[in-house]
Structure 1
Amino acid sequence: MLPETLRYRVGNGKVVQERGWILLPPKLTSELVPEADRGPKPPKPTLKGYWKLFSYAPIGIVSVNTAILYSTYFAMLVALPHALEDVYHWSTTEIGLGYLAVGLALMIGSLVGGRSTAGFGMSWVFVATSAFLGECVPLQAAGAFALGNMLRNPGAAVSAVVYPLLVRKMGVGWFFTGFAVFDLVVVGGAVLVLRMYGPSWRKKKTANAPK
C-alpha cells in the first residue's frame, strides 16, 4: 500500500509521485520503470556481505547505538503497565486500551507521516541515523538499514530481562536515570569517535574499494 522507494525499480520516484498517499489496490510488486531511468542495481544480499557491512566500523557503531536506544524505549514499554497499575491503579483493560492508542497512532503515522514531515523539513534532522547509514554505503543502503535494525530486538530482549531485577533493587526512577546516563555516555562517546576517526575510516574504505 506504500510506494516503492528502490531506485532500481522506480528511478527518481516520478512514476508514483502523481498518485495518492495510499496505493490502491495493493500490489505484490511495484512498476518497473524503463531501464534508462533506473538507478544502479544493488548487490545481491548475502550473509558474507552483511558481515562485511557490519565490520565497517561506522556501520557497526551506529547499529549498536540504535540497539541501545531501542532497548531503552522497550524498557519504558515494559515499565508502563506496571506504573499504570501500581501508581495510577488502572485496570488491565484500561492498560490495554492505552497501548491501542499508541498502535493506531503508529499505523496512521506510517501512512501520512512521511509526506507531511518531508514537506515540513522535519526529516532533515529526524532521520539522521538512517541518512548516515545510507551515506556510508549508497549502493547498499537497504542492507545498512537492516543492520541498523538487526540488533534492536536482542537489545529489547535484554532490557526486558534485566528490568524486573534492577527495578526491585533500584526503583523505577533510578533505573531509568542510570539508563539515561548510560545512553548519554555510550551514544555521545560514539558520536565523538565517529567525528574523530570517521574521515580516516572513509578514506581507507574508498582506497580499498574495487576500481
Structure 2
Amino acid sequence: MRSPIDVEKAHHYDRCRESVDSDDYPSPPSIDEAKQSLTENTASAPPPPPPPYSAFSINRRRFILGVVTAAGFFGPLCGAVYLPSLKLFQHVFKTSETAVNGTVSIYQLVFAIAPLFGAAASDVGGRKTVYIVGFGSFLIANTLLALLPAHIVLLYFLRIFQAFGSCIVFSVGAGTVADITEPARRASALAWFLMGPQLGPILGPLIGGQFATESRWRWVFGILSLTSLPVYLGILLSMPETLRSLVGNGAAVAHQPCISIPKFRTKPCIDSKVSKAPRPSFRKFMHLLKYPPHLIVSINGALQFAGLYGMYISFPTIWQDGYNWTTAEVGYAFLCPGIAMFITSIFVGRFSDYMRKKAIANSSDGKIAPERRIAMQIPAFVVAGAGKIMFGWFTQNRVHPAAGLFSAAVASAGVSVVFVTSISYQTECDPAQKASLVALGGCLRNIAAAICAAIMVSCFRGLGWGWAFTGLGILDLLCIPGIILIMVRGVKFREALKREQQLNK
C-alpha cells in the first residue's frame, strides 16, 4: 500500500501531463501551414517605396545644376563678347572687314552644327566625356588666342574650336538637368539652366566693350580663358556621370567623393531594361523631325529666336543712328531684355511645375499629358509678337527710348516662356534622347538667327524698322496653330512614337 506522499506525487504527475496535452500548448504547425501563414503576412505588408528619381543629394544636384549653367553661359558669351572688337580686329589682324566678319559666320555655323554630334554622343556614351573634351577645347582655344601672335588664319582655326567647345555644352547640359530632375520640378530647374545662354548675349557686349582697344584686345580671350578654368575643373574633378542609361538614378555613383580622378568612360551600372538612345548617325538624328511635335516645337523656336536675334543685332543701329546714343549706352540697353528674360524664366519654370502638380492632384490616375506644359505658349507667342511689332514702330517714329526698351523687354519675356516650356515638354516626350532634341532645336535656332542677321540690313533699308519687325511679329503668330495641333493630337502622336520605338527594339 502506497503512502499518502506517493499518492500525492502520482496525482501531481497526472495534472502536469494533462496540462501539456491541453490546447494551452499547441503542437508545431505543419510545413504547408507555415507557408500559408508566410504568404498571408507578405500580402498584408505594404509594398516597398519606389526608388527616388535621383539618388544624388539635394546639394549635389544643386552643384551639378550650377556647373552646367555656368558652362552653358560661355557659348553665347563668347559670340557676343567678340562683337565690339570687330572694327578693331581689321587693324590688329591686318585684314578686311569681310574677312573679320567671316570669323563671326564660321562661329555661328559651327555653333549650329556641332551640338548635333556632341549631344547624340552624350545620349549614348555619357555626359561627362563630352563635357571634358568639348569644354577643354574651348579653354585651350581661348588660351592660345590670348597668347599666340595675331594672324587671321589662326583666328579662323581657333574660332572653330571656340564654337565647338562651347556650343555642345548647352545641349548636353539640358540633358544633364533632365537626368537629375524629376518631371514635376523639371521646368524650374531648366529655367535656372537657361539663365546662362540667355544672359550671355546680354553681358557679352558690356564685357567686350571694356577691352576693345589695341592694347587690351587679347583680354577678350584671356577673360574667357580665366573664367572658364574653374568651371572646367569642376567638371573634370567633381562632376559625376548622370546619363540614366548608364547609371540609372545615380545610386551607383552618388556616394563618390566630391573630388575624384576623372574617368573618360563610365561602364553601365544598371540592367538593359532602361531605354537607351540609338547610336548617333545623321539619318537617325534627322529621324527625330519625323515626329510632328518635335518638328513643330523646333521650327517654332527657330522662328521666334530669329526675331529676337534680329532685334539684338539692330540695337547698335537703332540706338546710335536713331537716338544718338554712345556705344556704352547701347551696351546698357541690352540689360533691359536680359533682365526681362531672367525674371520670366524663373517665374515660368515655377508656375509650370505648380500647374503640373495641381493637375496631377486633380487627375484620377495621378498622371497628366506632357502637352499641358506648352499650353501657355499660345499667349506667349502673342506677347512676343506684340513686343516686336511695338519695338519696330516705336523706334521708327522716334518715340521716347523707354517705349522701345519696354517693347524689347516684352518680346524677350514671351521668348523666354517658349524656351522653358519647349525644353520641358520635349524631355518628357522622348526621355531617351533629351540632349539630342535640345541640340536639334539649337541647330535650327542658330541657322534661323544666321539667316536673319544676313537679311536684316536689307529689310531695314527696304521696309523700315516698323514693317521689318511687324513681319517678325507675324512669324510668332503663325506658330500658334502648331501648338494647338500638338495639344489636340498629342496623345495620338505619343502613342505612335511608342509603337515605333517598340518595333525598332
TM-score, normalising length: structure 1: 0.74
How far 1:182 sits from its partner (Å)?
2.1
Deviations 1:145-202 (A, max 9, x none): 11121101110011112211111122112211221122102x1121122234333322
Change (3 A) 1:75 1:208: same
1:141-160 matches, within 5 Å, as 141-160=434-453
Residue 501 of structure 2 corresponds to 209
Cα pair 1:75 1:160 within 8 Å, conserved: yes
Deviations 1:46-85 (A, max 9, x none): 3232112122121111111111011011000111111110
Residue 290 of structure 2 corresponds to 55
Cα pair 1:70 1:155 within 8 Å, conserved: yes
Comparing 78-87 and 189-198, the one that deviates more:
189-198
Correspondence for 1:64 among 299, 302, 306: 299
TM-score, normalising length: structure 2: 0.34
Residue 91 of structure 1 corresponds to 326
Correspondence for 1:197 among 483, 486, 489: 489
* Aligned: 1:81 with 2:316: yes
How far 1:15 sits from its partner (Å)?
2.6
Correspondence for 1:17 among 58, 69, 90: 58
Cα pair 2:302 2:445 within 8 Å, conserved: yes
1:132-171 matches, within 5 Å, as 132-171=425-464
How far 1:103 sits from its partner (Å)?
11
Residue 412 of structure 2 corresponds to none
Cα pair 1:54 1:60 within 8 Å, conserved: yes
- The higher relative CO (CA closer than 8 Å, separation ≥ 6) is in 1
CA distance in 2, matches of 1:104, 1:197: 35
Cα pair 1:40 1:139 within 8 Å, conserved: no
CA distance in 2, matches of 1:27, 1:131: 24
Residue 30 of structure 1 corresponds to 239
Aligned-residue Cα RMSD (Å) equals 3.4
CA distance in 2, matches of 1:162, 1:60: 24
Decide which structure has the larger Cα Rg and report it. Answer: 2
Deviations 1:75-111 (A, max 9, x none): 0011111111012212234434555x579979xx6xx
Number of positions where the alignment pairs a residue of Structure 1 with one of Structure 2:
192
* Aligned: 1:121 with 2:350: yes
Residue 199 of structure 2 corresponds to none
Cα pair 1:45 1:143 within 8 Å, conserved: no
Structure 1 segments of 4+ aligned residues over 6 angstroms from their partners: 102-106
Partner of 1:90: helix, strand, or coil? coil
* Aligned: 1:173 with 2:214: no
User: Which AA in structure 2 matches 1:170?
Assistant: L
* Aligned: 1:184 with 2:477: yes
Partner of 1:26: helix, strand, or coil? helix
Partner of 1:142: helix, strand, or coil? helix
Partner of 1:45: helix, strand, or coil? coil
User: Which AA in structure 1 matches 2:315?
Assistant: L
Deviations 1:20-50 (A, max 9, x none): 65567613262254146xx946424332321
Cα pair 1:75 1:156 within 8 Å, conserved: yes
CA distance in 2, matches of 1:15, 1:191: 35
| Identity level (%) | 24
Cα pair 1:63 1:151 within 8 Å, conserved: yes
CA distance in 1, matches of 2:467, 2:496: 43
Change (3 A) 1:105 1:177: closer
CA distance in 2, matches of 1:104, 1:193: 31
Residue 215 of structure 2 corresponds to none
Partner of 2:502: helix, strand, or coil? coil
CA distance in 1, matches of 2:475, 2:56: 45
